[in-house]
């Protein structure tokens, strides 16, 4: 059942007299009690008959309300399933599109009625075209893209090394030392302050085939895909691939299932959890960048200056914690409470 059909079913329930006009159970009971009271006060009927009729009316009212609730629960359940299926279909379609499997995308559009975003398709097609060229040894299209997006690649938080590595690949493929040096003067020397350009240039002194410098295209593909996705606001990794990797190979699903069995009675349905009640081990490749800003130094955390959680639960950056440990101290006092934390007790956090 798709979302439209599920919502239509709910609208029909709302307009049906059997499920909408029965009213809350308390209102129905008050109505029956009031009617029974009037009959008793009139004195025209046997009280035992009135009480028996009241019992039957209450039981019937309860059954009517339960029947209506069952229909609503079923309708709401169908909406939830339809929403989940729709979201899953979109994730699968996005994964197919990012892999360039456009025939599969078209077939899925026909089957589900969903539409793949046109802008995403343009980005995906361009990304695959450039990556295929890099894998074939041609980085010219990647260099053109870098030139067109030079301002973005040089913007904070740090300049991208992608253009340098692309020019490095071209340099290493030039057979003539003279031509290679000429290329380096024009395209590599601007990167001298931040990259090992001089060491790279000395590779011309090696005999053919004996240079320790390699021009493997695999790192270039990974680097270009990351920068391209960052430029256009796309996820670096496919969401579906990440979920499958963490859930199956990463073992997160086993941890969550164990928590559900052990703490399900206390925490309720796993779908209602706002956060996981335990730590899930993640491989380093799935520990994404920090967006934490240290409340002490007011600086954003980085890989070199990660956030650290103290024993008291407060979090500060590594450099701030190190400054608190100056003078050879074994522990540092939290800047927000009296509790002290040893260097070994401070835990790195990943956001």
pLDDT (tens digit per residue) in 63-85: 776 666 666 667 666 666 665 66
Is 105 among the domain residues?
no
pLDDT (tens digit per residue) in 14-37: 555 554 444 455 666 677 778 878
What's 190's DSSP letter? G
pLDDT (tens digit per residue) in 119-153: 888 999 999 999 999 999 899 999 999 999 998 88
DSSP-assigned states of every residue in 287-302: -PPP--B-TTT--B--
Say if residue 91 is preceded by a cis peptide, omega within 30 of 0: no
Picking from 203, 201, 202, the residue whose alpha carbon sits closest to that of residue 189 is 201
> Mean pLDDT, to the nearest integer, of 224-240?
85
The mean pLDDT of the chain is: 79
| 320, 326, 329, 332 alpha-carbon torsion, rounded to 10° | -20
Q: How far apart are CA 68 and CA 46, in angstroms?
A: 33
> What's the longest Cα–Cα distance across the chain?
120
The domain in which residue 67 lies consists of 3-98
More confident residue, 293 or 289: 293
Report whether pLDDT(287) > 80. Answer: no
Q: Say yes or no: 69 and 123 in one domain.
A: no
Amino acid 20: pLDDT: 45
Computed from CA positions of residues 144, 145, 148, 150, in that sequence, does the dihedral angle turn out positive or negative? negative
Q: Say yes or no: 81 and 185 in one domain.
A: no
Tokens (6 digits) for 250: 């990463």
The order of strands in the sheet holding 307-309 is: 315-317, 307-309, 347-348
Amino acid 130: pLDDT: 93
The pTM of the full predicted model, rounded to 2 decimals, is: 0.55
Q: By three-state DSSP, how is residue 234 classified? A: coil
User: 312 Cβ partners below 8 Å, 6+ apart?
Assistant: 334, 336, 337, 339, 341
More confident residue, 249 or 342: 342
More confident residue, 289 or 200: 200
Amino acid 126: pLDDT: 92
Q: How far apart are CA 186 and CA 169, in angstroms?
A: 15
> Mean pLDDT, to the nearest integer, of 246-262?
73
Amino acid 141: pLDDT: 94
% residues pLDDT > 90 (the chain): 13
Report whether pLDDT(102) > 70. Answer: yes
Among residues 267, 284, 301, the one where a domain terminates is 284
Q: How many domains does the chain have?
A: 4
For residue 348, list its beta bridge partners: 308
Among residues 64, 98, 132, the one where a domain terminates is 98
Q: How far apart are CA 171 and CA 267, in angstroms?
A: 60
Amino acid 224: pLDDT: 93
CATH code for the domain in which residue 349 is found: 3.30.40.10
User: 319 Cβ partners below 8 Å, 6+ apart?
Assistant: 294, 297, 299, 305
Q: How far apart are CA 120 and CA 91, in angstroms?
A: 13
Q: Say yes or no: 144 and 198 in one domain.
A: yes
Report whether pLDDT(155) > 90. Answer: no
Q: Say yes or no: 259 and 318 in one domain.
A: no
Residue listed under structure tokens 């691939």: 241
Among residues 231, 249, 274, the one where a domain terminates is 231
pLDDT (tens digit per residue) in 179-199: 988 999 999 998 888 888 888
Is 48 among the domain residues?
yes
Amino acid 21: pLDDT: 42
Most confident of 119-133, 152-166, 205-219, 272-286: 119-133
- Sort 188 into a burial class: Cβ within 10 Å, 0-12 / 13-18 / 19+: buried
């Amino acid at each position: 059942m798709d979302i439209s059909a599920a919502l239509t079913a709910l609208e029909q329930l709302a307009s049906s007299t059997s499920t909408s006009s029965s009213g809350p159970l308390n209102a129905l009971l008050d109505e029956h009690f009031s009617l029974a009271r009037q009959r008793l006060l009139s004195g025209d009927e046997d009280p035992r008959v009135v009480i028996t009729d009241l019992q039957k009316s209450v039981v019937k009212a309860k059954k009517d309300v339960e029947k209506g609730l069952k229909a609503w629960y079923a309708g709401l359940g169908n909406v939830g399933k339809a929403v989940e299926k729709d979201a899953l279909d979109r994730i699968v379609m996005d994964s197919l599109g990012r892999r360039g499997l456009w025939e599969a995308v078209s077939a899925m559009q026909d089957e589900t009625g969903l539409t793949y975003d046109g802008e995403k398709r343009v980005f995906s097609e361009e990304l695959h075209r450039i990556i295929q060229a890099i894998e074939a040894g041609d980085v010219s299209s990647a260099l053109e893209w870098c030139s067109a997006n030079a301002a973005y690649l040089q913007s904070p938080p740090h300049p991208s090394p992608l253009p340098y590595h692309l020019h490095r690949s071209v340099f290493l493929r030039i057979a003539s030392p003279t031509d290679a040096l000429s290329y380096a003067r024009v395209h590599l020397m601007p990167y001298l302050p931040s990259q090992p350009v001089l060491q790279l240039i000395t590779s011309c002194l090696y005999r053919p085939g004996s240079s320790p410098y390699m021009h493997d295209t695999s790192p270039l593909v990974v680097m270009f895909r990351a920068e391209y996705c960052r430029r256009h606001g796309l996820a670096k990794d496919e969401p579906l691939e990440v979920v499958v990797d963490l859930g199956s190979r990463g073992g997160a699903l086993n941890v969550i299932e164990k928590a559900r069995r052990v703490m399900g009675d206390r925490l309720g349905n796993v779908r209602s959890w706002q956060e996981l009640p335990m730590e899930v081990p993640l491989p380093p490749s799935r520990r994404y960048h920090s967006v934490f800003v240290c409340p002490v130094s007011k600086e954003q955390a980085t890989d070199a200056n990660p956030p650290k959680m103290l024993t008291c639960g407060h979090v500060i950056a590594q450099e701030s914690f190190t400054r608190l440990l100056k003078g050879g101290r074994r522990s540092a006092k939290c800047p927000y409470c009296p509790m002290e934390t040893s260097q070994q007790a401070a835990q790195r956090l990943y956001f």
